[in-house]
């Protein structure tokens, strides 16, 4: 009886916190995204939230940015790509719930940032009438929340994340290819993680998942993970392995060596992103998610435009 009462109380507390998070996201982050990016999560990452329909001859009222240069060269007259509003889309939030995501220095934890990002994407999908599903992973798939429409689904996902406690420490050798079989068609995958793994075995299966899906990598980082604070002796703890080490963070040589190791790991991860032609969204725990997405959209559009012939 006591246990049941306690569980009910925990559920109510988690739901209340989820409601608080969603209210904050809807009043601040969503408002900023909607006012500056038209509020369509697909347009943030792909330039528009539309499906390709056909190629036809250019008319005076067409947007020159939609000119298909291959068709134009082949047919000898300007042709444009025509799009239509996408319907019945599903977003999958692939969420890293390993121990390392629980880390946070003086700002907030990486898990908290992940929850806010998931709430934002889910809320934007809800407003577009799209479905949202979630997969929590650690060493394997921990939980699956099947895609559904509606605001209650977003509460369900946020509450699940708030309540989840990692049972296993390690995030390695996870078979990402399993995700291909359970995510269906007409989908966008948001892979949200700190990309801290014990080895490089994740790279091949992750690549297979990305190549078979419309996938966006979202990397969450605490600034302290990249630059040691000058505060004397500190205890470094690796939540993925459980190992601890005491170092003098004020020692310049140690700080430089630490930075070299971080740069080396980042280089390896960025090389994987580059091979897969992924442009990851990088969110620091002390940054404004809306501003990150706005800047990402600006850079993404600039890069796309510079690669378009004749523009």
Domain boundary assignment for the chain: 13-39+87-306, 51-85
pLDDT for position 211: 74
pLDDT for position 50: 57
List of the chain residues with pLDDT < 70 = 1-12, 14-15, 37-41, 46-53, 83-87, 167-185, 237-241, 300-311
pLDDT for position 40: 66
Instruction: For residue 81, give both structure tokens.
Output: 């790509």
pLDDT for position 110: 95
Instruction: For residue 248, give both structure tokens.
Output: 């003098």
Q: CA-CA distance, 164 to 141, in Å (whole number)?
A: 13
Query: In this structure, which CATH number among 3.30.960, 3.40.50, 3.40.720, 3.40.640 belongs to the domain 13-39+87-306?
Result: 3.40.50
pLDDT for position 6: 43
pLDDT digit string, tens, across residues 28-71: 787 777 777 665 667 777 655 556 567 889 998 888 878 888 78
pLDDT for position 85: 60
pLDDT for position 234: 75
| SS3 per-residue string spanning the chain | CHHHHHHHHHHHHHHHHHHHHHHHHHHHHHHHHHHHHCCCHHHHHHCCCEEEEEEEECCCCCCHHHECHHHHHHHCCCEEEEEEECCCCEEEEEEECCHHHHCCCCCCCHHHHHHHHHHHHHHHHHHCCCEEEEEEECCCEEEEEEEECCHHHHHHHHHHHHHCCCCCCCCCCCCCCHHHHHCCCCEEEEEEECCCCCCCCCHHHHHHHHHCCCEEEEEEECHHHCCCCCCCEEEEECCCCCCEEEEECCCHHHHHHHHHHHHHHHHHHHHHHHHCCCCCEEEECCCCHHHHHHHHHHHHHHHHHHCCCCC
pLDDT for position 232: 79
pLDDT for position 239: 63
pLDDT for position 3: 42
């Amino acid at each position: 009886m006591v246990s049941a009462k306690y569980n009910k109380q925990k559920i109510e507390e988690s739901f209340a916190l989820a409601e608080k998070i969603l209210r904050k996201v809807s009043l601040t982050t969503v408002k900023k995204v909607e006012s500056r990016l038209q509020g369509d999560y697909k347009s943030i990452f792909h330039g528009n939230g539309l499906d390709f329909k056909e190629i036809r001859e250019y008319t005076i009222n067409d947007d020159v940015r939609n000119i298909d240069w291959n068709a134009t060269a082949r047919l000898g007259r300007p042709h444009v790509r025509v799009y239509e509003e996408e319907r019945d889309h599903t977003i999958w939030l692939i969420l890293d719930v390993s121990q390392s995501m629980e880390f946070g220095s003086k700002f907030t934890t990486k898990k908290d940032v992940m929850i806010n990002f998931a709430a934002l994407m889910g809320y934007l999908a809800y407003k577009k009438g799209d479905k949202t599903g979630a997969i929590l992973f650690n060493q394997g798939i921990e939980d699956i929340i099947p895609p559904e429409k509606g605001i209650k689904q977003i509460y369900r996902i946020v509450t699940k994340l708030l309540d989840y406690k990692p049972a296993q420490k390690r995030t390695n050798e996870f078979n990402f290819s399993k995700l291909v079989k359970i995510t269906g068609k007409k989908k966008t995958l948001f892979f949200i993680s700190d990309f801290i793994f014990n080895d490089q075995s994740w790279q091949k299966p992750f690549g297979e998942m990305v190549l078979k899906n419309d996938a966006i990598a979202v990397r969450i980082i605490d600034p302290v993970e990249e630059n040691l604070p000058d505060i004397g002796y500190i205890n470094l703890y690796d939540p993925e392995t459980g190992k601890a080490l005491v170092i003098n963070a004020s020692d310049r040589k140690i700080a430089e060596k630490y930075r070299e190791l971080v740069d080396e790991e980042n280089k390896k991860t960025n090389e994987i992103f580059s091979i897969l032609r992924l442009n990851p969204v990088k969110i620091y725990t002390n940054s404004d998610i809306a501003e990150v997405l706005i800047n990402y959209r600006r850079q993404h559009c600039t890069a796309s435009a510079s690669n378009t012939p004749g523009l």
